[in-house]
Amino acid sequence: MSPESQASEALPSRRRRTPRGGRHRGDESFKLPPGSPTLVLAVPGSVRSAGGVPEELARLIEIEHTGQPTLVGYLDGDDRHLGAVLAALDQQRPDEPGAVVVPLVTGPDPAAEGAMRKIVADAPLHAVPAEPLGPHPLIAEALHDRLADAGLARADRIRMMTMVTAAGGVIVVVPGDALAVRQAEVTSVLLASRLASPVFTARIDDGAGIQAAAAQLRASGVARLAVAPHVIGLEPGGEHIAAAAAAAQAEHSAPLGAHPALARVAALRYVEALSSALSG
């Protein structure tokens, strides 16, 4: 059983997932009943630096999954700061969390997670922090789509597109430390399976590591390389994407941005955190 299924089964009956109709609805689609704790996205940086991506993801979550408002709170700046967003919420039920806060990062980010958890702990209502979005198979799907959008991979069969050319090898570049790279390697393995091509993982700011990965891919016969940024575009490190591609002498895809797969993962992290809080 997957972690998401375990999370769903652990919830009280009134919170069990209800599959939605339509042939594009997967196991990750569900509705939350009225009165469920508010889902709040915790965003590294400020409103100005985010460029509207968190609000678009919140809209996707509302439309596709929870059926209730999803709020956005920023870790920096005075505009829509996470602390102010939580302070404005009402505790709907005294015996349950009033909000679940999902960090909008793809992997371990000690600075962002630490800041988020402190704000959650200091909030006047009972709020629960969730885990980062990755690793998760849906992030591999999003990376695949961004590579296809850039003409660097064949699109999946669902999208019914065919690329004449595609990169023969991919380097997934990750912000953060060695732990972030190790966790992202799970996603890289899943991406390699989707592409049927070799995929390496490296820190986004490690030029020597990226060059070494590129050399190994070329030594194995890969002629065209692609760099896939394992970033939403909000995290520190996103500014290194072009330099990472230059180090590999490769083309690169865009950041994940407001990809629908990330909205699904955020909703799943909400369910996991809420399940743990209600069963604890």
Please name the residues in contact with 176: beta carbons below 8 A apart, sequence gap of 6 or more: 107, 108, 109, 203, 237
Kindly tell me if the per-residue pLDDT of 269 is higher than 50: yes
Kindly tell me if the per-residue pLDDT of 11 is higher than 70: no
pLDDT digits (tens, 9 = 90+) for 77-100: 999 999 999 999 988 777 889 999
Residue 72 has a pLDDT of: 98
Q: How confident is the model at residue 22 (pLDDT cuts 50, 70, 90)?
A: very low
* Residues 170-184, mean pLDDT to the nearest whole number: 95
Q: CA nearest 36: which of 4, 62, 75, 74?
A: 62
Q: Which DSSP helix (H) or strand (E) runs through 279?
A: helix 260-279
Residue 30 has a pLDDT of: 60
* Residues 171-181, mean pLDDT to the nearest whole number: 94
Residue 12 has a pLDDT of: 37
Pairing assessment for the beta strands 38-43 and 70-74 based on DSSP bridges: parallel
* Residues 104-127, mean pLDDT to the nearest whole number: 95
* Residues 188-215, mean pLDDT to the nearest whole number: 96
**18-32, 142-156, 189-203: lowest mean pLDDT where?**
18-32
Nearest 10 degrees: CA dihedral of 242, 153, 199, 221?
-100
Residue 81 has a pLDDT of: 97
Kindly tell me if the per-residue pLDDT of 3 is higher than 50: no
Cα–Cα dist 184/111, whole Å: 18
* Residues 10-38, mean pLDDT to the nearest whole number: 50
Assign 3-state DSSP to the chain and report helix, strand, coil percentages, each to 5: 45, 15, 40
Q: How confident is the model at residue 160 (pLDDT cuts 50, 70, 90)?
A: very low
Roughly how many angstroms between the first and final C-alpha of the chain, as a whole number?
Answer: 20
Kindly tell me if the per-residue pLDDT of 16 is higher than 60: no
CB 103 within 8 A of CB 130: yes
Kindly tell me if the per-residue pLDDT of 164 is higher than 50: no
Q: Apex CA 156: angle with CA 215 and CA 217, to 5°? A: 5
Cα–Cα dist 178/209, whole Å: 12
Kindly tell me if the per-residue pLDDT of 166 is higher than 90: no
* Residues 254-273, mean pLDDT to the nearest whole number: 95
Residue 21 has a pLDDT of: 34
Residue 29 has a pLDDT of: 54
**14-23, 84-93, 124-133, 191-200: lowest mean pLDDT where?**
14-23
**26-40, 46-60, 157-171: lowest mean pLDDT where?**
157-171
pTM score, two decimals?
A: 0.84
